[in-house]
Structure 1
Amino acid sequence: MVNSQPSIWNEMVSVNNGETLAEMAEKQPVMLIFLRFFGCSFCREAISDIAKHRTKFETNGFKVVFVHMAPDTAMAEKFFKKYKLFPVDHVQDPEKRFYQAFGLGR
C-alpha cells in the first residue's frame, strides 16, 4: 500500500462509485491507466489488452481505474462497454489537471 499520497488523489473521484483515488488506494493497490482520447489507436489497443487481463489483475488484488479527458460520462461508459470493461472505475479529467499532476503532457 502507498503510505504517502499526492494531495491530488483526494480530488480524483471515480464516476462510478464516488470514491477518491486516495480512498481506493487505502483498500488495495490501484492500476491507474491514463488514456489520451477514445479515438486513439494506442489507447484502444491498451484497452483491449486490459480487458483481456482484467480478471487476472483483480484476482491479484489490483483495482483497475482509468483516467480520461471525456467530459461526458455516457460517452466514456459507452466506450468501456464496447470493450467489455463496464462497469469499471473511471475518473473524468477534461481539463487535464490530473494528467499534468502526474507529469503527462501531449
Structure 2
Amino acid sequence: MSLPPRGRRTTGAARRGRRARECGPTGKTPGRRFTGDYLLAVTTLKSFARTVARFLTRYGAFRAPTLAQPPLPLGEMTSTEEAALFRLAGRLERARPWSSRVPDTVP
C-alpha cells in the first residue's frame, strides 16, 4: 500500500482504492458523488463538534459575546430574568472571587 503525498490525508475508502459513494442529498438516491476530500471535511467537522461538546459539559453556563437576537432596551428585562442573572453572578463570585482582582493593563 502506498502512502498519500506528504501533507495530504485520505479516507480509509480512498486508501483501499474504492470509488466515492454515489447518493443524492438524502443519502439514498443516486445523483451526488462524495469525494474523499468531502468525507474528510465532514469527519473533521464532526470530530471538532464532539471536542467542543466534551469541553462544554464541564460547565453549567457558557458566556459568549454574541446574541441570538438584539439586546433588550434598558429597563426592559423582567424581574425574573434579572434575578436569575444575579443568582448566576453570585455563584460565579463564590466559585472564583474577583472583587480583589484588577485587570492587567496594556502598555
TM-score range, shorter chain: under 0.3
Greater share of strand: 1
Greater relative contact order (CA < 8 Å, ≥ 6 in sequence): 1
TM-score by length of 1: 0.19
